[in-house]
Amino acid sequence: MLPELSPTLIRRRLTSLFPAALIEDIARERDVVQRHRRIDITMLVWSLILGFAVDGETRSIAAFQRAYQTATNQKLARSSFYERFTPELRDLLRDLLAHALEEVAVPHTIAPQLTQFRDTMIADATIFRLHRLLTAFPATHEEASGAQLYLVYNVTNRTLAQFDLTSERTHESSQFRTGNWLRRRLFLFDLGFYGYRRFALIDENDGFFVSRLKRNANPLIVAERRKWRGRAISLTGTLLQDHLSTLERTHIDVTGEFAFKRRPYGDHQSTDRVAFRVVGVRNEDTDDYHLYVTNLPEEFTPAQVAALYGLRWKVEVLFRELKSRYGLEKFETGDAAIAELLVVAALLTLTVSRALLAMFQKIDPDVEYPEERWATTFRSVAQPVLADLALALGHPPPNLPEVVRREARQPERSRLTLDKRVAQAFRTGVWP
């Protein structure tokens, strides 16, 4: 066993990420502690981060209460625990998430060419269902509720850079803000963020982008960026779609001109034109091209542009991890503030998981830890980790027989089991 893998390693990393004093200080600032003195706010936070696996895939207040009570050996009334889920607690979790994202950001280099960018970032969004009565988050169809989680994932630091929660009806691309923060950053977009005006604004702010080219895009080719051997067909002055079915070259690398509309001012909206690089990589299996639009310089070959775009898979894995491992879309609340609180708790779970992953990669750099395999393992040990933290914070070990008795028994004596209902029917002659 590696000497660094001591039994207290995980506990020490987590308590250094969120020291009890930090949680308590922010809780006082947010007026969480003053309103609820009886509860251990530090263990409540850790229960929200690590107690997600108690009830299978569901993030419910009842599940978090069971996690908290088991870890602290403390019994709370359901109504008393429910009252803790306030906007102030949500804001506390938001502050902790902001702190954690700065703490766990560890720059790493995928390829030397990417060091010229401040960050390589992926913008994307995912939809998940909410309680149908949660009208603050209307879905795209009637009599349903749905939320959209928008994220900007920083591939360079392996952390979340931005996030926002909106209704399902909000278009994901409207959440992406342009401005001088784009400078020297590279953004990878799917077609949900496709827009020549957006691309032009990124370029005007000295940022960079890579996006799949829309299937029906047909730019005018104004220049070719590479010379081809032999009697290659000249594409300059023609439209891209005129050649895609006949070209046989491995790569396409041209400058295409695109028309787009600027932001309207009053009743006036001007049309502008912009030139961007269009690259294509031939897919021999399908006998067509994967096409991309970008403003990356020519030092990035078409194959490298395609490989860069492949990094977008990281955000898809992240969304799948949040949903399938950390219960992002399994909410049972009709309260909008609580729904947002549970989303932030899920993002904290993800961030804590990635902080531990970074620690293990640092300890053992020659070992590969696939992110989804790591997430499955983290989920399986979350409850023991929570119990270990409770012991370290001064809580006695749980009385397991008492826990089993409390959680397994029928909560209301008036609710009869099937056996007792049958027995009652034999006594009374009435089947309820």
User: What single string gives the DSSP state of each residue in 215-255?
Assistant: TT--PEEEEESS--SSSPPP-TTSBGGGTTTT---SEEEEE
Secondary structure letter of residue 321 according to DSSP? I
What three-state secondary structure class fits 143? coil
The pLDDT of residue 46 = 97
The predicted model scores a pTM of 0.85
Q: What band does 206 get if pLDDT is binned at 50, 70 and 90?
A: very high
Distance (Å, whole) CA 87 – CA 354: 26
Query: If you average pLDDT over residues 380-408, what whole number do you get?
Result: 84
Distance (Å, whole) CA 339 – CA 139: 15
8 A C-beta contact, residue 309 and residue 212 = yes
Residue 155 has pLDDT above 60, yes or no: yes
Show the tokens assigned to 178. Answer: 């342009």
Show the tokens assigned to 289. Answer: 């091209």
Q: What band does 1 get if pLDDT is binned at 50, 70 and 90?
A: low
Range 361-368 contact pairs with CB under 8 angstroms and sequence separation of 24 or more: 363/2, 363/4, 363/5, 364/2
What three-state secondary structure class fits 149? strand
pLDDT tens digits, one per residue of 208-245: 999 999 999 999 999 998 776 666 678 899 999 998 88
**Residue 99, H or E segment:** helix 87-104
The pLDDT of residue 60 = 82
Task: Give the Å distances, CA to CA, from 399 to 17, 26, 65, 69.
Answer: 29, 31, 16, 10
Mean per-residue pLDDT over the chain, rounded: 88
